[in-house]
Copies of this chain bind each other. A is one copy, B any other.
Amino acid sequence: MVRARISDVAAAAGVSVTTVSLVMNDVESRIPEQTRQRVRDAARAVGYAPSSVARGLRTQQTRTVGLISDQIATTPFAGRMLAGAQDAARESGHLVFLVNTDGDAAIERDAITALSAQQVDAMIYACMWHRVVEAPEGLPASTVFLDCRPEGGGFRSVVPDDRAGGLAAVRELVAAGHRRIAFLDTDDAPIASTLRYDGYVEALTEADIPVDPALRVAGDTSAHGGRAAFDRLLDLPDDQRPTAVFCFNDRMAVGVYTAAHHRGLEIPRDLSVVGYDDQQLIAAEQDPPLTTVALPHYAMGRWAMEVALGVRAEGDEDAAHLMECPVIRRGSVGPPPAQVAKPNRRRASHTERLP
């Protein structure tokens, strides 16, 4: 089936192409309703759909957006970010070109070229982990950075408020009565971990709890890494062992669960734990379900798209927009044990708890 053109509609309706264009675009003009209807009927009859390509060439506006992302396959976060951006784009009648670079600079360069050639109306440069990136050459100045900030600024950007997230997480623990709170850190995510640690320190400070460097241990960001690191804390003498731990992420928190269980410690009775990321498949399915801090991926994606499209006026080139990370309360936080539990001693009062 060959596409119907605007001239086909004009011929069918017995009017000029100008009239058809005016009617199709609802341009304010005093074309009588009768004519409009005739045009619309003709359009439907010939199966007319205007060509965005021709319109784009004429108006120099394509109603398309380019979204360049460094990863997409390897993280469960990508989808929510894309969904947010997507929804915002759709709401204002735009289509999005998605390019996954896998961190390859050559692919990235080509993508920028191709997207520019397509004359996208806006561009978003996204990362799947909050970090500082060197802005690639050739990006339009109006590009919005998503979940990353360009080194040296110069672009609008949105990132999670990891400091406030860490603060909220630890406040949760402080409010439950804990005073010996550990921070399960990592060296694999410099920006995010530093900010979360800052929040941790702030929460302790406002509660007049001294920051004990011994309670900060680091591991890699996996469950295994979390377990190995936290095990070192469990080796501490009873009166120095933490009664609660704030973990850099949910996966490490899973390692804490394992380490605790192997010592006969029950969560949250003997140990409270808070994670970060709110990974559905992990946090919600633990036993007990993990209290954690959610990363606002959907909201960030939406914000970036709205700013890129000019729907939202916000966005400062010199300061990243900070997006709130809400605490998701589940079952892994409780009051501290009256007396620190002895390792390897199973309690008789053990109550089963299903996920």
Contact = CB atoms under 8 A, between A and B. Distances in A.
A37 B95 CA distance: 37
Contacts of A78: 79
Contacts of A62: 53
A223 interface: yes
A119 B52 contact: yes
Interface stretch (A80-88, A185-193, A211-219, A234-242): A80-88
A49 B113 contact: yes
B76 A72 contact: no
Interface stretch (A146-154, A160-168, A280-288, A312-320): A280-288
B96 A98 contact: yes
Contacts of A224: 285, 354-355
A302 to B, nearest CB: 12
A54 interface: yes
Contacts of A114: 52, 95
A101 B79 CA distance: 13
A107 interface: yes
Contacts of A51: 57, 117, 119
Interface in A40-77: 49-54, 56-57, 62, 64, 72-76
Most buried by B among A3, A56, A73, A117: A73
Interface string A99-118: 11010000100100111111
Interface in A240-285: 251, 254, 258, 262, 279, 281-282, 285
Nearest to A282: B281
Given A50-B117, A52-B119, A79 B75 contact: yes
B107 A99 contact: no
A129 interface: no
A75 to B, nearest CB: 7
Contacts of A279: 281
Contacts of A79: 72-76, 78-79
A87 B115 CA distance: 16
Interface of A: 3, 49-54, 56-57, 62, 64, 72-76, 78-80, 82-83, 86-87, 90, 95-100, 102, 107, 110, 113-119, 222-224, 227, 251, 254, 258, 262, 279, 281-282, 285, 287, 298, 352, 354-355
Given A51-B119, A82-B100, A96-B97, 4 more contacts: A50-B117, A75-B79, A98-B98, A224-B354
29 contacts: A3-B119, A49-B116, A49-B117, A51-B57, A51-B117, A51-B119, A52-B119, A53-B56, A57-B57, A64-B118, A72-B79, A72-B83, A73-B83, A76-B76, A82-B98, A83-B102, A86-B100, A87-B100, A90-B107, A95-B99, A95-B115, A95-B118, A96-B97, A96-B99, A223-B355, A224-B354, A227-B354, A251-B285, A254-B285
